């Protein structure tokens, strides 16, 4: 992420815990395949899959291949629809499946022996990336057992030139402040901070990375990126899907834990952080951490929760949350959350940030909308007030990725009448995007030791600390009006009240085609 050109990662082994899981099939292996296409894989790579099932290496490889073929056949953007043997075969040539119980020390001894053998055969220079693609309840156990087996020590007294040992940890990183602290201290018992790569997959999205380019590679925006010029900022991550097959997970998690301290706060940090002195990991992460420290403590009055009822999404009738599989009939889990945040620093004092996210909203649409202050409009006193819109800069994260600038223009004709118009930049009009699942940059960065796009321990804890009072407050009060929004709508009306109190309103959640 930090450099302009890319360097080839060193030879290494990637050990995937949870080798038979969904994440491995849907994201990790397709990402490796895409990386082969763009030349981002190490010259020598051994894949080791660890899981508890009985499976041979050949079966594991065949399963992954057939899943990948299925995905490619669906034909994503830029995909040919077929597996390219020249890309797949070098990956497949070096795949080993290790049957093992994550809780048993023997698994780690077997892994140690296997790694030593593979390293010798393939000259991998001792480099190993461990990928925790398991359920989160195994994170501490696996990290601890790797540590006890001596598998994560990079430099030892008798081996100063051991290769790198890195660990990727997936989301969720804890479920509240205490559990995040516990997980951090467990990982930090055996690993140093710079060996740990905590993934937030939103940071793998090109449009999210582009926020830094937009802000810091252009002289235009930074001078107006502050409380003098900006009225408020809205961050929306709207999903039309429901909770799919994740009822049990969602019952324990809810929208706040699932989306806010991680994805939404990462967007917030990208938009609000001070310019770093470089794109080196420590410089960027330090600036992000400052934002979390400056957020004013949240109270329950700043936050609204919602849960979807039956409704129609994309023309199809859908169930209420309480009718989904593995969900209690009187569940109080929230599927929507909206909040108002203030950042206490010189740049942002007095500028509200409104965040919202929800399932089963009308469409899938994520954007950051920056509303500039209204110009003094005395000159246009004859224009009806509803036609005088302020200027907006809209960063579209997904879909229809791009940037819009809305401003006022004179409508042709003899009168000085105004209309809000829009200038558009669409990613796909300018760049040919290589097929990607969104994990390619993240895995590549980890292989090359660049932690810029990963979360540091303090960031994770600050973020959980911010939502902690809300989690506790909600745990002590039963939401009386659940379900409180119709599936296919824009969320509960209470979310509108949150902005109406400030004399503002949410942007409509819609696809930004046309004008
Ligand atoms: C995940 C959440 O982290 O992000 C899901 O657990 C959510 O509930 C998903 O649907 C959204 O990510 P994306 O990339 O599909 O927008």
Name which of 21-35, 383-397, 483-497 the model is least confident about: 383-397
pLDDT in tens, 294-348: 999 999 999 999 999 999 999 999 999 999 999 999 999 999 999 999 999 999 9
The answer to whether the CB of 258 is under 6 A from ligand 1 is yes
For atom 4 of ligand 1, the residue with the nearest CA is 259
| pLDDT bucket at 396, cuts 50 / 70 / 90 | very high
Question: Of 243, 258, 366, 368, which is best to mutate to test ligand 1, by the most ligand atoms within 8 angstroms of its C-beta?
Answer: 258
The answer to whether residue 296 is catalytic is no
pTM: 0.94
Atom of ligand 1 at shortest distance to CA of 250?
8
The answer to whether the CB of 347 is under 6 A from ligand 1 is no
pLDDT in tens, 243-273: 999 999 999 999 999 999 999 999 999 999 9
Whether 385 shows a pLDDT value over 90: the answer reads: no
Q: Report how far residue 169's alpha carbon sits from residue 121's, in angstroms, rounded to the nearest whole number.
A: 28
Position 213 scores a pLDDT of 94
Position 515 scores a pLDDT of 47
Distance from Cα 276 to the centre of ligand 1, integer Å: 28
pLDDT in tens, 409-418: 988 988 878 8
Q: Which tokens is 370 given?
A: 């920056």
Give CA torsion, residues 149, 41, 269, 341, to 10 deg.
-80
Q: Is 483 in contact with 335 (CB distance < 8 Å)?
A: no
Domain 2-170: CATH superfamily is: NAD(P)-binding Rossmann-like Domain (3.40.50.720)
pLDDT in tens, 180-211: 999 999 999 999 999 999 999 999 999 999 99
| pLDDT bucket at 160, cuts 50 / 70 / 90 | low
Q: Report how far residue 224's alpha carbon sits from residue 222's, in angstroms, rounded to the nearest whole number.
A: 5
Strands 308-313 and 353-358: unpaired
Domain 203-368+452-500: CATH superfamily is: Dihydrodipicolinate Reductase; domain 2 (3.30.360.10)
Q: Collect all residues with Cβ–Cβ distance below 8 Å to 173 and sequence separation of at least 6.
A: 136, 180, 183, 198, 262, 455, 460
Q: Which helix (H) or strand (E) holds 30?
A: helix 29-37
**What average pLDDT does this structure show over 79-98?**
91
Asked if the bond preceding 483 is cis, omega within 30° of 0, the reply is yes
Q: Which helix (H) or strand (E) holds 282?
A: helix 281-294
Position 158 scores a pLDDT of 56
**What average pLDDT does this structure show over 18-38?**
95
Q: Report how far residue 46's alpha carbon sits from residue 85's, in angstroms, rounded to the nearest whole number.
A: 17
**Domain boundaries defined on the chain:** 2-170, 203-368+452-500
pLDDT in tens, 457-467: 999 999 999 99
Instruction: Please tell me which residue in 52, 175, 263, 296 is annotated as part of the active site.
Output: 263
Question: Of 22, 175, 202, 251, which is best to mutate to test ligand 1, by the most ligand atoms within 8 angstroms of its C-beta?
Answer: 202
């Amino acid at each position: 992420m930090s450099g302009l050109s890319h360097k080839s990662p060193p030879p290494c082994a990637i050990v995937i815990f949870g080798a038979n899981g969904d994440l491995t099939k849907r994201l990790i292996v397709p990402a490796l395949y895409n990386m082969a296409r763009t030349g981002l894989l190490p010259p020598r790579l051994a894949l080791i899959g660890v899981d508890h099932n009985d499976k041979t290496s050949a079966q594991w490889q065949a399963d992954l291949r057939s899943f990948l073929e299925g995905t490619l056949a669906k034909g994503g953007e830029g995909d040919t629809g077929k597996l390219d043997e020249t890309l797949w075969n070098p990956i497949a040539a070096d795949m080993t499946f290790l049957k093992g119980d994550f809780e048993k020390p023997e698994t780690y001894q077997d892994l140690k022996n296997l790694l030593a053998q593979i390293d010798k055969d393939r000259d991998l220079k001792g480099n190993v990336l461990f990928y925790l693609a398991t359920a989160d309840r195994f994170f501490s156990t696996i990290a601890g057992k790797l540590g006890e087996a001596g598998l994560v020590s990079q430099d030892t007294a008798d081996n100063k030139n051991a290769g790198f040992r890195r660990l990727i940890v997936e989301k969720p990183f804890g479920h509240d402040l205490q559990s995040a602290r516990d997980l951090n201290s467990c990982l930090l018992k055996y690993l140093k901070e710079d060996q740990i790569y905590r993934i937030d997959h939103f940071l793998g999205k090109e449009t999210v990375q582009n926020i830094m380019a937009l802000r810091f590679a252009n002289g235009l925006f930074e001078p107006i990126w502050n409380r003098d010029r900006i009225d408020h900022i809205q961050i929306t991550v709207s999903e039309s899907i429901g909770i799919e097959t994740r009822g049990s997970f969602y019952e324990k998690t809810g929208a706040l834990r699932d989306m806010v301290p991680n994805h939404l706060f990462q967007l917030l940090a990208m938009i609000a952080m001070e310019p770093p002195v470089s794109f080196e990991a420590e410089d960027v992460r330090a600036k992000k951490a400052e934002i979390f420290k400056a957020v004013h403590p949240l109270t329950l009055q700043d936050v609204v929760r919602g849960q979807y009822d039956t409704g129609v999404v994309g023309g199809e009738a859908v169930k209420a949350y309480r009718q989904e599989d593995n969900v209690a009939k009187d569940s109080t889990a929230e599927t929507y959350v909206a909040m108002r945040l203030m950042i206490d620093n010189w740049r942002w004092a007095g500028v509200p940030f409104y965040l919202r996210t929800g399932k089963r909203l009308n469409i899938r649409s994520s954007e950051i909308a920056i509303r500039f202050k209204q110009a003094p409009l005395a000159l246009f006193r004859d224009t009806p007030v509803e036609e005088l819109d302020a200027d907006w800069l809209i960063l579209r994260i997904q879909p229809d990725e791009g940037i819009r600038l809305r401003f006022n223009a004179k409508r042709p004709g003899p009168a000085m009448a105004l209309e809000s118009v829009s200038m558009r930049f669409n990613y796909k009009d300018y760049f040919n995007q290589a097929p990607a699942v969104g994990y390619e940059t993240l895995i590549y960065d980890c292989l090359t030791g660049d932690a810029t796009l990963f979360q540091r321990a303090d960031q994770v804890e600050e973020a959980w600390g911010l939502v902690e009072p809300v989690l506790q407050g909600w745990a002590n009060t039963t939401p009386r009006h659940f379900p409180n929004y119709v599936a296919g709508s824009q969320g509960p009306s209470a979310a509108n009240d949150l902005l109406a109190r400030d004399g503002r309103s949410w942007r409509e959640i819609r696809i930004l085609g046309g004008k």
